[in-house]
Each structure stands twice: as structure tokens, then as C-alpha cells.
Copies of this chain bind each other. A is one copy, B any other.
Amino acid sequence: MKKATIIGAAGFGGAGLIEILTRHPGFLIKQLIEKKDTGIPVSDIFPHLRDACNLTLDSPDNVDFDTDIVFFSTPDRVGMEIIDEYYKKGIPVIDFSGDFRFKNTQEYAVYANNKGIDDKHLAPHLLKESVYGLPEKNRKAIAEAKIVGNPGCFATAMILGMLPVMDEGIIESDTIICDGKTGVSGAGKNSGEANLYPQRHENINAYREGHHQHLVETENIINAKNKTSKKILFIPQVIPMTRGILVTIYADIKEGYDTKKIESLYNDYYKGEPFVTITGRSPGTADVRGSNRCIIKPAVDRRTGKLFVTAAIDNLMKGQSGNAVQAANIMMGFDETTALNMPGSYP
């Protein structure tokens, strides 16, 4: 049994990790760390965990380093102040924020400015030690990583939707258009007046059009193999639901590719991937609710010749905690699908 510590246990990310790790035969949750509400059973915060986890929340001051892996389910700029200590002790960490998704401080600064936070990275020396934690791209590097930056939820959907055509080098547009739709939970457990039920129901609106913080990592990863510099015009939109992301991707594609050929390319590319499904049927976020799966429908429009791809994930699973456990399975030598090979629930 590997011991796992969760820092930031009282957010949605913490809840997701506890749900998965308590059904994981290889992990034992050692400690739940939270700034607020210390001394309180986590099931007072999340009553659904009452019979699954009887731990209480511990203060950051009481952190126990006798652990095999640490999940930082914390806001931006928390991990970068602390993770060095774990790094020096050789304890692997997975960070949920943008702190360790980039290779240099310039990229971080663009990310931070898009998000409207302080843009000075506090642990630049750790950036080159960190790995972008998307198994479908970086499986081997993750296996040996000491610091993993867990991908952004929108980035995960965009990257998985585009990797096959980008790595194959058949995209001809300089700009790729990504139209994203997310449930409200992506904004976290205490996200302010705009996300109250009355304000979000019966409402959809775009935000941070063209400058969402997940642009940097997405452009990095999709351009990596062929050293291209294609840009994404990404318009995210919030829709009245809790979980789920659907991204619709539009691009020009080399001549000679129709839907059949593109489907075949995607199937080959993701062959053997345990959590990616290629389909010819329009995926709904309900099909991935509660699961770590990404369902992708790639197609070519007959009238205009354009490529369009829809990709659906659960933003709190493949877009957050599920992907983190998938990475942790790789890091700890477990079967990659352990505790994740479940279909979610419907309806």
C-alpha cells in the first residue's frame, strides 16, 4: 500500500481524490491537509464521504512527510512555495494548479497574466524538473517524474482532440478554433456571486475570449512534435450544468482526408489508450459523467472540407482528479486504470 497525502482536501479536487483513492486497492490516504476547518472530519464538509473516509482535516503545520505521494489540490501559487521541500526529500508530487505546467518562467507569466494573478514564478529551478501530466502524451516521463503539473481541464479536452492531426502534421490553418463549453464546477467550490444558482441557470455566456489561461499549455503540447507554432483562438463558455466539458475544434486540413480517413487516423493514434474512445456518434458530456474517459468524434464537413472535432470529458475526472490518479498509478507502478475503470452513472 502506498501512502497518499492530499493538500487542499476540502475543495472539489480533494473530494474527487478521496472518492477515487478510497476505492483504490493500492493507496491508503495518510493525511488530509486544509488551511480552514482543521480538526473537522472531512465528512462534515462532504457528507457523502462519511462511510468512505474517517479522516479529519489537518493543518499545514502538521504535515507528515512519511508519505509516498502528495497531491496538491490547491489554488495557483500554493504549490510553488512548498513543493521544493518534498522534492528535496524525493517525495513525488502532483500539482493541480498551473504552477508546474510550464518549462520556463516566461510561459508561466503569460499563463498568470491571462488568469489575472501574480506572474512571478517562485520556484523557477523546479520548472525543468516538472512534467506535464497528460499520460496520453507524456506517459514515460510521468513514470519517472518527481513533480507533475496536472493539466488544465479545458487543455485536456483540447489537446486530446487535436493531437492526432497535429502530430500527423496535416493541419493547414495557422489558427485553430476551439469553442469550449464547461459546467460550473470548474470554477471551484467557492467561486463567487456570478456562479450562484440563480445567476447560472438558464444562462450561457463566453468569458476570457481569446485569452484563457489554458491556451499556453495547449499550444505547447500540440505544437511540440512537429515544432510548429500554430495558434488557437479559444472561446470558453459556461453553461448551466455542474460537471462536464465539451470542446468543438475547427481547422483546415490537408486535402484527401474525409471523415472515414480521419476516424481511422484517430483510432490508430489512440490505439491501446485506456481512457480515449473514438466514435462516430456525437458524444455528450452525460456519456462521461463520473468517468475518466475522453470521447472524441473527429469528422470532415462535406460542404466546406473543414475538420471538426468534438471532445467530451468530465472536468472533475479526466479534467482533474481522475487524470491525477491515472498519473499517480503510472508513477507508483500500478496498472494505469486502477480505481478508474468504471463507467460513471447515468442518468
Q: Which residues of B contact A287 (CB under 8 A)?
A: 47-48
Q: Which of A82-90, A144-152, A174-182 contacts B (4 or more CB under 8 A)?
A: A174-182
Query: Are A237's CB and B243's CB within 8 A?
Result: no
Q: Which residues of B contact A345 (CB under 8 A)?
A: 16, 19, 48, 290, 316
Query: Are A248's CB and B179's CB within 8 A?
Result: yes
Query: Are B277's CB and A48's CB within 8 A?
Result: no
Q: Which residues of B contact A195 (CB under 8 A)?
A: 196-198
Query: Are B283's CB and A205's CB within 8 A?
Result: yes
Sample of 12 further A-B pairs with CB below 8 A, known A51-B277, A53-B343, A206-B282: A12-B346, A15-B346, A16-B345, A19-B346, A47-B281, A183-B198, A183-B202, A202-B202, A202-B286, A203-B241, A233-B301, A235-B310
Query: What are 11 A-B contacts with C-beta separation under 8 Å?
Result: A16-B345, A18-B343, A19-B342, A181-B237, A189-B198, A190-B196, A202-B242, A203-B284, A209-B299, A209-B308, A237-B248
Q: Chain A: residues with CB nearer than 8 A to chain B?
A: 12, 15-16, 18-19, 22-23, 46-53, 174-175, 177, 179, 181, 183-185, 189-191, 193, 195-207, 209-211, 231, 233, 235, 237, 239-244, 246, 248, 250, 277, 279, 281-291, 293, 295, 297, 299, 301-306, 308, 310, 312, 316, 341-347
